[in-house]
Amino acid sequence: MSRGAILILGGTAEARSLAAALHGDGVAVTSSLAGRVARPRLPVGDVRIGGFGGPEAMATWIGEHRVRAVVDATHPFAERISASAARACAIAGVPRVRLERPGWTPGRGDRWTWVADLDAAARALDDLAARRAFLTTGRQGLAAFAADAGRWFLVRCVDPPEVPLPRHHELLLDRGPYTVAGEGSLLDEHRIDAVVTKDSGGPLTVAKLTAARDRGLPVIVVRRPPRPDGDTVHDVAAAAAWVRALAVA
Ligand code: NAP
- Which domains, and CATH codes, for the chain? 5-102+226-246 (3.40.50.720), 111-222 (3.40.50)
Nearest atom in ligand 1 to the alpha carbon of residue 74 is 34
Task: Report CA(232)–ligand 1 centroid distance (Å).
Answer: 18
E strand segments, the chain: 6-9, 29-33, 46-49, 69-72, 96-99, 111-115, 132-135, 152-157, 169-173, 194-198, 218-222, 232-233
If you take atom 42 of ligand 1, which residue's CA is the nearest one?
A: 75
pLDDT of residue 223: 98
Global confidence as pTM = 0.94
Task: Report CA(35)–ligand 1 centroid distance (Å).
Answer: 8
Pocket of ligand 1 (CB under 6 A): 9-12, 32-34, 36, 51-54, 58, 74-75, 77-81, 84, 138, 140
pLDDT of residue 249: 58
pLDDT of residue 2: 44
Task: Report CA(36)–ligand 1 centroid distance (Å).
Answer: 8
pLDDT along the chain (249 residues), means of 10: 80 97 95 92 95 98 97 97 97 97 97 98 97 96 95 96 95 96 98 98 97 98 91 97 84
